[in-house]
């Protein structure tokens, strides 16, 4: 059953040094507040997993939290590059960063396999690309029924998963809606999980299309209003487009990034 706790306590219990951890959210409900708490707690040697690493991963990488990134696309959405990510890969600052690149479909299937308790997933993707030559976790597999050569990718072995949602009730059941990505699968795939929410309510009201994560699949819930900022939480907040623009300037220079980091840490 989920424990409702302050953010700092929840992060300390869920995200450990050396973890393989996913901070998931698609366009909205990105768990920025939890990521910033990871920076404050100086977590280290993390393998960061995400389908679309954006600004929050740029911040975690620049803060020295990461040793590896498993991903399918990376950028500052609508703006440009992730400069701290680029600096880590090209120059090893503040740490050398190992990368493992997949397609969106490959990453999604890896989450689904892990959430389903399967060792790997099979798909038709990657054919005609050079990713299998670059990534060890992509391998051909022959269908035993048709002889067709397909592609296999291993399930994501997550120690921890962190997501943001709109609501939880006082028993720790979680409700999220709007554009959803692989948040559900990330939680189901991980050994430990944390959901930050806009509010904790007495009862969850039924809502068409909403995803409900029952209390027994979530370890910690933390009430963090605005916890997705600068992304947004559908029906609760709007996207702070100016923040993403400012981040491009802040992150280009190591000194300006260090100044920003002092405001978080």
pLDDT in tens, 227-245: 999 999 999 999 999 999 9
**With 0-12 CB in 10 A as exposed, 13-18 as middle and 19+ as buried, what is 71?**
buried
Instruction: State CA 210 to chain mean position distance.
Output: 20
pLDDT digit string (tens) for 113-127?
999 999 999 999 898
Q: What is the pLDDT of residue 185?
A: 98
User: In angstroms, what is the C-alpha Rg of the chain?
Assistant: 18
Q: What is the pLDDT of residue 142?
A: 96
Among 33-37, 129-133, 243-247, whose mean pLDDT is lowest?
129-133
Q: Facing residues of 201 across strands?
A: 169
pLDDT of residue 89 exceeding 90, the answer is yes
3-class DSSP state of 245: helix
pLDDT digit string (tens) for 198-212?
999 999 999 999 999
Cα(256)–Cα(252) distance, rounded to whole angstroms?
Answer: 8
Q: What is the pLDDT of residue 238?
A: 98
Q: What is the pLDDT of residue 125?
A: 87
Cis amide bond preceding 198, omega within 30: no
Q: What is the mean pLDDT of residues 103-108?
A: 96
User: pTM of the prediction?
Assistant: 0.96
Q: What's the mean per-residue pLDDT of the chain?
A: 97
Q: What is the pLDDT of residue 265?
A: 77
pLDDT of residue 218 exceeding 90, the answer is yes
Instruction: State CA 248 to chain mean position distance.
Output: 20
Cα 132-134-138 angle, rounded to 5 deg: 35
Cα(34)–Cα(234) distance, rounded to whole angstroms?
Answer: 18
Q: What is the mean pLDDT of residues 65-89?
A: 97
Q: What is the pLDDT of residue 68?
A: 98
Question: What would the two tokens of residue 132 be?
Answer: 């299998």
Cis amide bond preceding 52, omega within 30: no
Question: Percent of the chain at pLDDT above 70?
Answer: 100
**With contact defined as beta carbons under 8 Å apart, do 245 and 176 qualify?**
no
Strands of the chain (E only): list them: 3-4, 20-23, 46-50, 66-71, 98-101, 120-123, 139-142, 149-154, 158-169, 174-176, 190-201, 211-213, 220-223
Q: What is the pLDDT of residue 113?
A: 98
Starting at the earlier edge strand, list the strands of the sheet with 139-142: 120-123, 149-154, 139-142
The conformational region for residue 91 under phi > 0 = left, psi -120 to 50 = alpha, else beta, is: alpha
């Amino acid at each position: 059953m989920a424990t409702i706790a302050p953010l700092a306590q929840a992060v300390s219990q869920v995200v450990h040094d050396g973890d393989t951890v996913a901070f998931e959210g698609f366009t909205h409900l990105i768990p920025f507040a939890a990521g910033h708490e990871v920076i404050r707690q100086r977590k280290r040697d993390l393998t960061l997993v995400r389908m679309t690493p954006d600004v929050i991963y740029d911040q975690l990488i620049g803060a020295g939290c990461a040793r590896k990134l498993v991903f399918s696309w990376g950028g500052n959405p609508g703006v440009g590059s992730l400069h701290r990510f680029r600096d880590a890969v090209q120059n090893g600052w503040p740490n050398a960063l190992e990368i493992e690149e997949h397609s969106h479909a490959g990453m999604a299937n890896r989450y689904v396999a892990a959430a389903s308790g399967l060792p790997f997933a099979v798909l038709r993707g990657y054919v005609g690309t050079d990713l299998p030559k670059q990534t060890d976790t992509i391998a051909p597999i022959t269908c035993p029924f048709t002889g067709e050569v397909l592609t296999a990718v291993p399930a994501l072995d997550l120690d921890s998963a962190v997501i943001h949602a709109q609501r939880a009730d006082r028993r720790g059941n979680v409700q999220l809606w709007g554009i959803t990505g692989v948040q559900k699968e990330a939680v189901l795939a991980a050994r430990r999980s944390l959901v930050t929410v806009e509010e904790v309510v007495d009862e969850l009201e039924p809502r068409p299309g909403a995803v409900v994560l029952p209390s027994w699949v979530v370890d910690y819930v933390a009430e963090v209003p605005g916890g997705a900022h600068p992304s947004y939480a559908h029906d609760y907040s709007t996207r702070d487009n100016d923040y993403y623009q400012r981040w491009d300037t802040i992150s280009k220079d190591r000194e300006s990034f260090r100044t920003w980091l002092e405001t978080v840490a």
